[in-house]
Amino acid sequence: MTDLPDRLEIADSVLDLIGNTPLVRLKRLSELEGLACTLAMKMETANPGGSAKDRPALEMILSAERQGVLRPGGTIVEPTSGNTGVGLAIVAAQRGYRCVFVMTDKVAPEKVALLRAYGAEVVVCPVAVPPDDPQSYYSVAERLTRELAAFRPNQYANPDNPLAHELTTGPELWRQTGGRITHFVAGAGTCGTITGTGRYLKRMNPSVRIIAADPEGSVFSGGSGRPYLVEGVGEDFFPAAWAPDLLDEVIPVSDEESFLTARRVSRDEGILIGGSGGLAVAAALQVAKRCGPDDIVVVLNPDSGRGYLSRVFDDGWMANFGFLKECDLCVGAVLGARGSALPPLLYVNPDQTVREAISIMRANGISQLPVCKNDPPFAALRITSTLDGGNSLVLPPRAWAPGRRLRAADGEQRGFVLGKLLQRGADFDRVSFEPD
């Protein structure tokens, strides 16, 4: 008892726990990849809200207080559904502000529930209206800001967003690496992280390389802004904090590589990361492979994989987009694995009962069944090669994502064709879909 220090190790409030996140070596990944350099991850999940966004949320609110735009008992309105909302809600709870978040009805219910759990109010607007409609997300956020005389942080334009990282993330990395950091890799959305951290590190040592990881298709890496699936990063416009002069490189990474890397890091390192963390690690691995033993490559992981369990970590979701390697199996091999007792096409008619459908599925160990209006043949399909003895089957274009897993339920015709071919004992080993 006598050696215990007098000082209480109790943080004054949860706000004091924002920042000073740990840096951890990606040891297993480095071994598996045979890296010569040190590859380390800045663990932003250690922030109280579980993401890097706690930092700008705190800085934007403190700065608004200093400027008198946010007064005691005031209201914060921000259109956000993500990590920034959580950060703002935490700071608002601690400092006694009302928080109103505006989001579209496209947002997953868990996200709404999470913000409400912190005591925030959430206004859900229809996604299917034009931006100038009074019910739109933008119009509602503007109206509420006006009516409630609220402070709107607007992280895309607010200079306190990059400033937060310049004042905290940058100095932390400099200190944690003893000034030896050589490369910093992070995803960019508002660009607050990469620009703020990059600004500090370049000031300390202009030869530190600042590298943005960017979803393929986003404008930062020269894309058109076309949609991609990784959340929170990349844009279809250039936010105020975009500072290309600071960037030594912008590395585009595909959705597939981002997600597979997130899964890999979670499994190999025991660090559960999301798609944007996977995107950053994928870019960092490219960088690290070019580095030598004196190099220290730091990759920032912005948030946890917990928020993406129903997407990145869901095999069905991943398979639907063709992101799982198992999908590269030939259809013939998959069918072959079911053994020789595979029945011909199984289907039900609309007037059969659900009980009958379930019993057919149970009896045959299948989870999907096409419902067909009458009896075969259902529709003509353009089938080539297989019918003339080849081993590939070409189906016409439909709403079919490239690489998507083939399932009988994807269409009665497809089910029919597969079943019919099986009945005939066809031995096809490749199925492809005609491009549109």
Ligand X SMILES: Cc1ncc(COP(=O)(O)O)c(C=O)c1O
**Binding flag, residue 232, ligand X (CB under 6 A):** yes
Position closest to ligand X via CB: 232
User: Which of 188, 285, 297, 318 is the binder for ligand X (CB under 6 A)?
Assistant: 188
- We find the least distance from the C-beta atom of residue 337 to ligand X, in angstroms, to be 38
**Binding flag, residue 191, ligand X (CB under 6 A):** yes
Nearest in space to 428 (alpha carbons), one of 400, 369, 378, 387:
387
- We find the least distance from the C-beta atom of residue 190 to ligand X, in angstroms, to be 3
CB 263 within 8 A of CB 278: yes
For ligand X, the closer CB: 299 or 346: 299
User: Which of 87, 192, 278, 411 is the binder for ligand X (CB under 6 A)?
Assistant: 192
User: Which of 49, 85, 87, 189 is the binder for ligand X (CB under 6 A)?
Assistant: 189
Residue whose tokens read 């997130």: 262
Give 246-284 as a DSSP string: G-SEEEEE-HHHHHHHHHHHHHHHS--B-HHHHHHHHHH
**Binding flag, residue 190, ligand X (CB under 6 A):** yes
How big is the chain by its Cα radius of gyration, in Å? 26
CA 253/CA 275 separation, integer angstroms = 11
Does the annotation mark 289 as catalytic?
A: no
User: Which of 187, 215, 217, 419 is the binder for ligand X (CB under 6 A)?
Assistant: 187
What DSSP character marks residue 377? P
Query: How many C-beta neighbours within 10 Å does residue 16 have?
Result: 12
CA 318/CA 351 separation, integer angstroms = 34
Find the helix or strand (DSSP H, E) in which 25 lies. strand 23-25
For ligand X, the closer CB: 83 or 168: 83
**Binding flag, residue 83, ligand X (CB under 6 A):** yes
For ligand X, the closer CB: 173 or 408: 173
**Binding flag, residue 212, ligand X (CB under 6 A):** no
Stretch that binds ligand X, among 33-41, 188-196, 256-264, 391-399 (CB under 6 A): 188-196
What DSSP character marks residue 325? G
CB 115 within 8 A of CB 89: yes
Residues 6+ apart with CB under 8 A from 28: 268, 269
Out of 42, 53, 202, 420, pick the active-site residue: 53
**Binding flag, residue 304, ligand X (CB under 6 A):** no
User: Which of 57, 103, 233, 408 is the binder for ligand X (CB under 6 A)?
Assistant: 233
Binding site for ligand X (CB under 6 A): 83, 187-194, 231-233, 276, 280, 302-303
- As annotated, the active-site residues are 53
